[in-house]
A and B are shown apart, each in its own frame.
Chain A
Amino acid sequence: MELSKISAKLALKAVTAVDITGLSVDTGYAGDLLSDVLAHAEPESLWITIQKHKNILGVAAAKDLSAIVISGGIVPEKDMLDAAQERHIPVFTSKESTFILSGKLFLLLNEHDL
């Protein structure tokens, strides 16, 4: 499913200006343990996490993740967002919890409308 469509449906707030045209999301992964995400996330996943430091970008890049969503109303710092911009990794934020976002994403990807 198109990332732009998912972003709209989940009411995600884009905090980078990375162009998401043509990017798609096949599945999702929720987790705050970076090694776990490195080991288990699938390429083209939407990754939902409460981590907000720069290393999440390394994980997203290594795994070819489609985008990162920082959940729970956590606000990332400009430093990280600048680095994300530079590396063309789209980052979003949401006030919703990881649980709620994951549930909604699962429904969307399995063709249940919200």
Chain B
Amino acid sequence: MMEFDIQGGDFLNAGESSGVIKEYMKRIGLPHPFIRRVLIAAYEAELNVVAHAQKGTLHFTMEEQRVIITVKDTGPGIPDVERAMQKGFSTASSEVREMGFGAGMGLPNMKQNSDTLTINTEVGKGTEVIMEFML
């Protein structure tokens, strides 16, 4: 298992954990399309924390037949998950949008690339996203 800290607002270093995870998955010889699925979802999840929360963590767990990514943050929480899952819906700031994020594709991308996506969220407390990828 690997754990990474994510700092809210720190766009410049976002994606570093995905880099480490990628190297690990390549080293143990997982198939490339599988690696890409995990990375897209992990990167989007990490960016969500950077864009919306103060801080968070990303856990990567490798089991025999699956990878589990858990991303937990102390952020604003998601008031309406169903709406947040819709393509194009976003609450990102204009600053975030200018960087090419916040187009309302993060959660849909995460759903599309994972086998299961579970969102536990509480407004004012934070959000936990658990994604499972079957080999």
Provide the main secondary structure of the chain B interface.
helix
- Whether the Cβ atoms of A61 and B112 lie closer than 8 Å is no
Cβ-based interface call for B105 (8 A): yes
**Total interface residues in chain A, CB < 8 Å:** 22
Partner of A61, one of B19, B101, B108, B109: B19
Total contacts A-B at CB 8 Å: 74
Provide the main secondary structure of the chain A interface.
helix
Residues of chain A in range 34-73 having any CB-CB distance to chain B below 8 Å: 34-36, 38-39, 43, 49, 51, 53-55, 57-59, 61-64
Q: Is the interface on chain B under 10, 10 to 19, 20 to 34, or 35 or more residues?
A: 20 to 34
Beyond the given pairs A34-B99, A55-B11, A55-B15, 17 more chain A to chain B contacts, judged by CB atoms under 8 angstroms and listed by A's residue number, are A33-B103, A34-B100, A34-B101, A36-B103, A38-B40, A39-B109, A51-B99, A54-B11, A54-B12, A55-B14, A55-B101, A58-B18, A61-B18, A61-B39, A62-B22, A62-B39, A64-B32
Binding site for B on A (CB under 8 A): 32-36, 38-39, 43, 49, 51, 53-55, 57-59, 61-64, 79, 87
